[in-house]
């Protein structure tokens, strides 16, 4: 027991929820979870949304967010049960023995105070060292975490530095009091993929150098595989599997873990190039009232029944390209040919067939469907609008579409709020299919979904492509998805297409610097990947 | 179906009571509206439940007719302000561009002047009739409804489902009535209750200041004015209509709260 | 130029523009009558001679746009015109009454602002428990109650039944400060009650908004005491919204004063305005409307400028 830093026994966590207009009721979030953590070890907590992983992480500080409260079990930190401590005793643990790194550092820093003051606050408050010492230590940490100008970095305000830097500063804040345990709560999830890898590496180095123990919470198994010594897989508030990282990744025991590990293993045979259905010719575009081009001279094309993936990070212009193709943003130069005709640059100038044959599916299925319409109305409207279907004929067709998206008969009268995330996205797919389109633009359609659900959606899209011979313009920042479904790929960077060709061409070296950085930054589910990548990199990521 | 909370029940009871009394005023009022039936400020008694007023008219009768006037004016002005404000607000939000700019800047300007002050300025040259009151109050208040409706509609127009409707090629009417309106309804309905209360207070205040409903017709604010001299002699006649205004306002508020709660918890509520 | 200075100057310029536009709107407000203003003022029985005289006096023979600029020019030189009813210079009469009104509003603000902030903090401290519920219940009620009801209830119970304070609030130059305060005690209480509810509710919302920020959670997870969390992390971010709330409610006070002055027969701006609306004394109404609007616009402008100045993103640009 001497080495045992954290010992959680039979932890139960509940919350009272207050749905508007209904009676409040209690729900169980964590149902009896036990684990231990030795000094200096890193435990990864992994699970899909709703698995209770963040809640468990915060319980190591005896903290419940919102209405969440710990209803049973024991949490021992350094040998004493912190759930039994007085508020004063608990405050002595928080910020001293255990510290916390939040997902959104941008919100977690007080906007009115300088970074240095906030980074050193806990150390000084708990009397762990004097202000001067704390500031010296902070500068050392800034340097270690690779922040620019570490001597003066602390004089800035939170809004004056980038998101990736803030996340590192938050790590420095957590390490400054020299705690025994740091809770990392999805620290890289909100970052771009090329920034994520640097922050991840910085966190990993800092953990190793300081010898601190950590709980690393994330939904991304590939990420946690890089930093943790052991992994605990959670689902619906219960533990599925707990073991050494190597065992979980390479020899998972439970079915659920196997599914998580093998996610994105869809095999897709690349199709032969053919005469295009969509050709984007020299498109340049800018938003009104701005003085720079969001897109400059973009040329891509897409064959019928094939998938073109547009890949890039936030701000690369990939979603803007979708807006230009759909006619929401008229380009300042260039033209778009679609199905043998040239499309009008504006939405108003397009014929009903132009609109029908070019459909769109959105990232957030939640807001892509009118919450006041039933599934039947949502899918039925395009049938009525484009084909004049009514009554029984319409209902039959709706049911056919529901069958195609693998949803049963009971859904036609349901409202979107009654569906799960994956079901919502399926309904959106059915709405697009209802128009019998030649091309569907898929804008980050799987980004908001849990990995297993996302996999189901990708498989469905591939099946539908085979059956309906529809082309996809697939916009994403996730290269794993691209590898799974694309026939051709366009890599975008700062409004330009930097690499374009068939999937094999694009993914075969030699790469240009940016593609190299981007491809290299996608976490792979193997141990030691992070080190391999960092040692062979040619270009610095932009988000630093 | 959920059970109705007690507060909403009380609110609904009083709201219904006042509205029914207003509608059936001529049937239930014991005396004529301007009929002098007794001495000045007689106390409450079996003959006159609420006593008599400053010139000997039955106070209960005055109250019933006064309520009719107050509620009629407030209702009419609320309807006017709602239709004008929400139609313009929705149009501004969906059309955008210079129409939105022009309307919004004008509304900013009108709202930069307190409505009571602006109403007084306008009423200093206008003949004070019920029609003019309704017009002035309704149009001034439409600015607030406009702001709310526009804000709500702008929030909804940026939703992907509205974009999806536009990409489908739907016309402006479909977008406004089928996509935006059903989702904007619950905040607007709740606001409608608040606007009605504001109208009741507004017309009462104007009449109390002597610039609203003109004698011998009276609304509740006017009855307060007629009887305010009595307060100094310990005669509470002026407090009766004032309490009526307060209870009506509170009741409507309770009902509006309940409606808001209910509509947001409907299936598919946001 | 520092960007924040630019923003403040922009806001000041907008305030001035708004003032000019408001003056035009007030002027136009007295012109929207479809018929003849002079006829409307004097009534149907007026003699042609009287009508002609009034038209000349109001300058109705001059085109409205020119009349507006003449009026505005006068206002800028401190000339608010002459009253139609008693031929007195409006600026002279108004000066003293404006002083009285500000005196009343000042004391109401002195009492209500600290009280509202204190009660708002109390409601946040006991959020969801009975002090909070009591406060929000009272707030709901007092938002629904007309100012004159509060006024008359106080007069009836405190002044008439208990014989404390006077039913009318007459003040004059001969009175000492103590006598004056005694005279305005009831109207000050009414005004305080009128703005208190709004101010408290908005203060509560503003503080709650700050308390729910992620950085408050960060501070709590650092193990700071609740006092330190509030003093070091919540307070610096809550000042701006609270000052904003206070300013907006002082603007609200300006309107509440009109009714309260009439209830207590207090010789201030509100009484002056209401009297002359009834007498259809257009120049006085225009002048009073302009002054009220100006105070209202200025307070709103100050509220905006405070939020600009206290925004760390603007104070320390990238």
- State the DSSP string of A410-452: GGTT--GGGS-HHHHHHHHHHHHHHT--SEEEEESTTTTS-HH
Q: Is the pLDDT of residue A541 over 70?
A: no
- The span from the CA of B39 to the CA of C228, in Å, is 68
Task: Give the residue from chain B lying closest to A363, CA to CA.
Answer: B160
Among C37, C263, C289, beta carbon nearest to B117: C289
Identify which of A166-170, A190-194, A284-288 has the greatest average pLDDT. A166-170
pLDDT at B270: 31
Whether the per-residue pLDDT at C231 is higher than 80: the answer is yes
Q: Which helix H or strand E contains A4, and what residues bound it?
A: strand A4-17
When CB atoms are compared, the residue of B125, B209, B231 closest to C156 is B231
Per-residue burial over A150-184, b if 16 or more Cβ lie within 10 Å, else e, is: beebbebbbbbbeebbbbbbbbbbbbbbebbbbbb
Query: Min CA distance, B147 vs chain A (Å)?
Result: 23
Cross-chain residue pair A157–C220, CB shorter than 8 Å: no
Q: What is the pLDDT of residue B1?
A: 43
- Contacts with B167 from chain A: Cβ below 8 Å: 326-328, 347, 355, 359-360
- pLDDT-wise least confident of A192-206, A259-273, B212-226: A259-273
> A387 — contact with chain B (CB < 8 Å)?
no
CB contact under 8 A, C146 and B201: yes
Residues B93 and B177 sit within 8 Å (Cβ to Cβ)? no
Q: Give the per-residue pLDDT at A425.
A: 93
**Separation of first and last alpha carbons in chain C:** 14
> Count of CB contacts below 8 A, A vs C?
73
For chain A, the structural domain boundaries read 4-261, 278-508
DSSP conformation letters of chain C: --HHHHHHHHHHHHHHHHHHHHHHHHHHHTT--SS-HHHHHH-TT--HHHHHHHHHHHTTTS-HHHHHHHHHHHHHTT---B-TTT--BHHHHHHHHHHHHHHHHHHHHHHHHHHHHHHHHHHHHTTTSHHHHHHHHHHHHHHHS-HHHHHHHHIIIIIIIS--S-SS----TTS-HHHHHHHHHHHHHHHHHHHHHHHHHHHHHHHHHHHTSHHHHHHHHTT--HHHIIIIIIHHHHHHHHHHHHHHHHHHHHHHHHHHHHHTT--SHHHHHHHHHHTT-HHHHHHHHHHHHHHHHHHHHHHHHHHHHT-HHHHS--
Residue pair A124/A131 in contact by the 8 Å Cβ criterion:
yes
Break chain B into its structural domains and give their ranges.
Answer: 48-268
pLDDT band for position B267 (50/70/90)?
very low
3-class SS of residue A469? coil
Question: Is B109 in the C-facing interface, judged by CB distances under 8 Å?
Answer: yes
C12-29 core/surface letters (b: 16 or more CB in 10 A; e: else): eeebeebbebbbbbbbeb
pLDDT digits (tens, 9 = 90+) for A112-171: 899 999 999 999 999 888 999 999 999 999 998 888 889 999 999 998 888 888 998 999
Q: Does B181 touch chain A (CB under 8 A)?
A: no
Neighbouring C-beta atoms of residue A13, cutoff 10 Å? 23
pLDDT over threshold 50, residue B206: yes
Average confidence (pLDDT) over B167-175? 89
CB contact under 8 A, A21 and B262: yes
Instruction: Kindly state whether B260 is in contact with chain C, defined as any CB-CB distance less than 8 angstroms.
Output: no
Domains A4-261 and A278-508 share a fold: yes
Distance CA C30, CA B123 (A): 8
- Cα distance between residue B154 and residue B159, in whole Å: 9
Return mean pLDDT, chain C: 83
C91/A64 Cα distance (integer angstroms): 63
Phi, psi of A291 (to 5 degrees): -120, 25
Query: Which range is least confidently modeled, A201-210, A385-394, B53-62, B143-152?
Result: B53-62
CB atoms A112 and C312 under 8 Å: yes
Strands A213-218 and A181-185, sheet pairing: parallel
Q: Hey, of A319, A325, A359, A371, which one would you mutate to test binding to chain B, going by the most B CBs within 10 A of its CB?
A: A371
User: H-helix or E-strand containing A91?
Assistant: helix A87-93
CB contact under 8 A, A355 and B264: no
pLDDT per residue as tens digits for the range C157-205 = 887 777 777 777 777 777 777 788 888 888 898 899 888 888 888 888 8
Instruction: Decide: A217 and A183 in contact? Cβ < 8 Å.
Output: yes
Q: In A94-181, where does DSSP find H-type helix?
A: 105-108, 115-125, 131-144, 150-153, 163-175
* pLDDT beyond 80 at A364: yes
Distance CA A302, CA B254 (A): 59
Q: Looking at the domain A278-508, which fold is it?
A: Rossmann fold (3.40.50)
For the cut 60, the answer to whether the pLDDT of residue A542 exceeds it is: no
CA-nearest residue to C34 within chain B is: B126
**Binding-face residues of B in 222-261 toward A, CB within 8 A:** 261
* Helices (H), ranges, A271-364: 318-326, 352-357
**Which pair of tokens denotes residue B6?**
């007690």
DSSP state of A8: E
Contacts of B59 (CB under 8 A, 6+ apart): B48, B50, B51, B52, B53, B223, B237, B240
Residue A505, classed as helix, strand or coil, is helix
Half-sphere exposure of A71 (CA within 13 A, CB side): 14
CATH of domain C90-279: 1.10.3720.10
Q: What share of chain B is helix, strand, coil (3-state, %, to 5)?
A: 75, 0, 25
The mean of the pLDDT values for chain B is: 84
Over residues A303-318, mean pLDDT: 88
A214 by DSSP, 3-state: which?
Answer: strand
- Contact call for residues B146 and B107 (beta carbons, < 8 A): yes
Which residues on A lie below 8 Å from C218 (Cβ)?
100, 102, 108-110, 118
| Residues contacting residue A61 through CB under 8 Å, at least 6 positions apart | A82, A93, A94, A98, A100, A183, C221
CB spacing of B117 vs C32 below 8 angstroms: no
Q: Do C41 and B125 touch (CB under 8 A)?
A: yes
Q: Which of B199, B198, B188, B157 is nearest to B175 (CA)?
A: B157
Nearest CA in chain A to C239: A112
Element (H, E) at A15: strand A4-17
Homologous superfamily of B48-268 in CATH?
MetI-like (1.10.3720.10)
Which chain C residues are within 8 Å of A61, Cβ to Cβ? Answer: 221
C146, C274, C292 ranked by CB distance to B114: nearest? C292
CA distance A420 to A422: 6
Position A265 confidence tier, pLDDT thresholds 50, 70, 90: low
> C-alpha angle A226/A231/A233, rounded to 5°?
125
- Tell me which residue in B114, B204, B242 faces C296 most closely, judged by beta carbons: B114
The total of other beta-carbon atoms located within 10 Å of residue A530's CB is: 20
Q: Where are the beta strands (DSSP E) in chain B?
A: none
pLDDT tens-digit map of A19-52: 655 667 788 889 889 999 998 899 999 988 878 8
Do A331 and A345 contact (CB within 8 A), yes or no? yes
Q: Please count the residue pairs, one from chain A and one from chain B, whose beta carbons lie less than 8 angstroms apart.
A: 69
What is the pLDDT confidence band of residue A538, given thresholds at 50, 70 and 90? Answer: low
Three-state DSSP class for A43?
A: strand
Per-residue pLDDT tens digits for A419-440: 888 899 999 999 999 999 999 9
C152 touches chain B (CB under 8 A): yes
The pair of three-digit structure tokens given for residue A70, joined into one six-digit string:
């710990």
Burial class (CB in 10 A: 0-12, 13-18, 19+), A467: exposed
Question: Quick one: average pLDDT of C228-237?
Answer: 86
> Looking at the partner chain, which of B109, B124, B242 has a beta carbon nearest the beta carbon of C152?
B242
> What's CA A72's distance to the chain center, in Å?
32
Question: pLDDT band at residue B268, thresholds of 50, 70 and 90?
Answer: very low
Of A92, A121, A160, the CB nearest to C316: A160
Inter-chain touch A21–B261, beta carbons under 8 Å = yes
Q: Which fold has domain A4-261?
A: Rossmann fold (3.40.50)
Q: Which residues of C touch A99 (CB under 8 A)?
A: 221-222
Alpha helix positions (H), A265-358: 318-326, 352-357
Determine the Cα–Cα distance for residues C82 and C91; give it in Å rounded to an integer: 8
pLDDT at residue A242 in the model:
93
Given a contact as 3+ CB pairs under 8 Å, which chains touch C? A, B
ipTM value: 0.84
Alpha helix locations (H) across B24-129? 25-28, 59-95, 97-111, 115-123
Integer-rounded Cα radius of gyration of chain C: 24
Give me chain A's average pLDDT, please: 88
Residue-level pLDDT at B47: 72
What residue ranges in A203-250 does DSSP mark as E strands?
213-218, 230-235, 238-244
Residue A319 at interface with chain B, using a CB cutoff of 8 Å: no
Q: Which residues of B touch C32 (CB under 8 A)?
A: 122, 125-126
Check: CB of residue A539 under 8 Å from CB of residue A516.
yes
Angstrom distance (rounded) from CA C16 to CA C301: 10
Residue A198: its pLDDT value, please? 85
Q: Which 3 state secondary structure label does DSSP give A501?
A: strand
């Amino acid at each position: 027991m001497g080495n045992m830093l954290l010992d959680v026994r039979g932890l139960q966590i509940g919350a009272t929820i207050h749905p508007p207009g209904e009676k409040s009721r209690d729900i169980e979030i964590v149902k009896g979870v036990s684990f231990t953590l030795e000094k200096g070890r890193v435990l990864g907590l992994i699970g899909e949304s709703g698995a209770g992983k963040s809640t468990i992480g915060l319980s190591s500080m005896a903290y419940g967010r919102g209405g969440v409260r710990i209803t049973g079990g024991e949490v021992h930190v350094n040998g004493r049960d912190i759930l039994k401590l007085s508020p004063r005793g608990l405050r002595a643990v928080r910020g001293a023995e255990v510290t916390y790194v939040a997902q959104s550092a941008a919100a977690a820093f007080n906007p009115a105070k300088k970074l240095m003051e906030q980074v050193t606050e806990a150390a000084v408050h708990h009397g762990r060292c004097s202000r001067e010492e704390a500031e010296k230590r902070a500068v050392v940490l800034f340097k270690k975490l690779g922040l620019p100008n570490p001597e003066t970095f602390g004089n800035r305000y939170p809004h004056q530095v980038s998101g990736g830097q803030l996340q590192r500063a938050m790590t420095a804040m957590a390490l400054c009091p020299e705690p025994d345990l740091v809770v990392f709560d999805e620290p890289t999830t909100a970052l771009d993929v090329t920034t994520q890898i640097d922050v991840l590496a910085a966190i990993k180095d800092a953990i190793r150098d300081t010898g601190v123990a950590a709980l690393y919470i994330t939904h991304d198994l590939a990420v946690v595989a890089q930093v943790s010594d052991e992994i605990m897989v959670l689902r619906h508030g219960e533990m599925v599997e707990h073991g050494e990282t190597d065992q979980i990744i390479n020899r998972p025991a439970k079915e659920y873990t196997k599914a998580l590990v093998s996610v994105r293993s869809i095999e897709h045979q690349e199709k032969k190039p053919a005469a295009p259905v969509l050709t984007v010719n020299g498109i340049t575009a800018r938003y009104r009232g701005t003085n720079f081009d969001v897109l400059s001279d973009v040329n891509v094309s897409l064959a019928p029944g094939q998938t073109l993936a547009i890949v890039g990070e936030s701000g690369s212009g990939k979603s803007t390209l979708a807006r230009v193709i759909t006619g929401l943003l008229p380009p300042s130069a260039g033209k778009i040919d679609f199905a043998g005709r040239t499309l009008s640059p504006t939405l108003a100038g397009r014929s009903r067939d132009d609109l029908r044959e070019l459909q769109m599916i959105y990232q957030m299925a939640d807001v892509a469907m009118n919450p006041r319409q039933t599934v039947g109305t949502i899918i039925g409207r395009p049938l009525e609008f484009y084909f004049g279907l009514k009554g029984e004929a319409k209902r039959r067709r709706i049911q056919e579409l529901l069958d195609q998206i693998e949803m049963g008969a009971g859904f036609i009268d349901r409202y979107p709020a009654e569906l799960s995330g994956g079901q919502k996205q399926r309904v959106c797919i059915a709405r697009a299919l209802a128009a019998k389109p030649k091309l569907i633009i898929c804008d980050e359609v799987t980004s908001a979904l849990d990995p297993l659900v996302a996999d189901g959606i990708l498989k469905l899209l591939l099946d539908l492509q085979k059956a309906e011979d529809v082309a996809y313009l697939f916009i994403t920042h996730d290269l794993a998805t691209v590898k799974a479904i694309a026939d051709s790929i366009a890599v975008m960077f700062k409004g330009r297409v930097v690499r374009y060709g068939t999937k094999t061409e694009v993914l075969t070296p030699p790469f240009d610097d940016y593609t190299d950085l981007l491809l290299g930054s996608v976490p792979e589910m193997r141990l030691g990947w992070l080190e391999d990548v960092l040692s062979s990199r040619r270009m610095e990521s932009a988000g630093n | 179906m959920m059970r109705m909370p007690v507060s909403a029940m009380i609110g609904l009871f009083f709201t219904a009571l006042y509205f029914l009394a207003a509608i059936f005023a001529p049937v239930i009022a014991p005396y004529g509206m301007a009929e002098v039936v007794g001495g000045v400020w007689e106390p409450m008694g079996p003959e006159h439940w609420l006593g008599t007023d400053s010139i000997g008219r039955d106070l209960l009768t005055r109250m019933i007719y006064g309520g009719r006037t107050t509620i009629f004016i407030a209702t009419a002005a609320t309807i006017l302000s709602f239709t004008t404000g929400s139609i313009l607000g929705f149009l501004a939000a969906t059309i955008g561009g210079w129409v939105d700019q022009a309307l919004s800047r004008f509304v900013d300007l009108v709202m930069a002047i307190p409505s009571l002050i602006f109403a007084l300025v306008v009423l200093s040259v206008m003949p004070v009739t019920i029609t003019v009151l309704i017009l002035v109050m309704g149009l001034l208040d439409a600015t607030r409804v406009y702001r709310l409706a526009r804000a709500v509609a702008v929030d909804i127009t940026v939703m992907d489902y509205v974009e999806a409707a536009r990409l489908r090629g739907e016309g402006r009417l479909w977008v406004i009535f089928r996509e935006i309106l059903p989702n904007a309804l619950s905040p607007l309905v709740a606001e409608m209750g608040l606007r009605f209360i504001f109208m009741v207070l507004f017309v009462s205040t104007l009449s109390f200041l002597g610039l609203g409903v003109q004698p011998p017709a009276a609304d509740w604010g006017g009855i307060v004015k007629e009887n305010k001299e009595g307060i100094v002699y310990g005669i509470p006649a002026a407090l009766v209509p004032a309490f009526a205004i307060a209870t009506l306002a509170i009741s409507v508020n309770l009902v509006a709260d309940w409606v808001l709660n209910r509509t947001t918890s409907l299936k598919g509520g946001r | 130029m520092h960007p924040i200075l630019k923003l403040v100057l922009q806001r000041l310029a907008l305030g001035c523009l708004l003032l000019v536009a408001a003056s035009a709107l007030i002027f136009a407000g007295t012109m929207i009558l479809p018929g003849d203003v002079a006829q409307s003022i004097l009534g149907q029985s007026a003699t042609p001679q009287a009508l002609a005289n009034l038209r000349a006096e109001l300058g109705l023979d001059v085109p409205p746009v020119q009349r507006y600029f003449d009026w505005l020019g006068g206002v800028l030189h401190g000339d608010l015109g002459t009253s139609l009813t008693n031929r007195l210079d409006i600026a002279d009469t108004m000066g003293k009454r404006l002083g009285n009104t500000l005196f009343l509003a000042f004391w109401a603000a002195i009492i209500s602002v600290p009280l509202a902030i204190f009660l708002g903090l109390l409601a946040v401290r006991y959020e969801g428990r009975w002090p909070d519920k009591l406060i929000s219940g009272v707030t709901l009620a007092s938002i629904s109650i007309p100012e004159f009801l509060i006024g008359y209830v106080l007069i009836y119970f405190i002044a008439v039944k208990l014989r404390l304070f006077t039913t009318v609030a007459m003040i004059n130059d001969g009175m000492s400060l103590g006598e004056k305060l005694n005279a305005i005690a009831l109207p000050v209480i009414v005004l305080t009650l009128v703005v208190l509810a709004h101010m408290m509710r908005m203060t509560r919302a503003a503080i709650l908004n700050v308390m729910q920020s992620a950085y408050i959670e960060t501070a709590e997870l650092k193990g700071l005491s609740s006092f330190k969390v509030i003093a070091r992390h919540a307070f610096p971010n809550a000042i701006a919204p609270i000052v904003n709330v206070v300013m907006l409610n002082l603007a609200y006070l300006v309107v509440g004063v009109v009714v309260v002055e009439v209830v207590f027969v207090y010789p201030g701006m509100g009484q002056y305005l209401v009297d002359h609306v009834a007498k259809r004394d257009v120049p006085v109404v225009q002048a009073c409307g302009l002054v009220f609007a100006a105070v209202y616009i200025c307070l709103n402008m100050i509220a905006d400028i405070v939020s600009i100045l206290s925004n760390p993103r603007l104070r320390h640009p990238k």
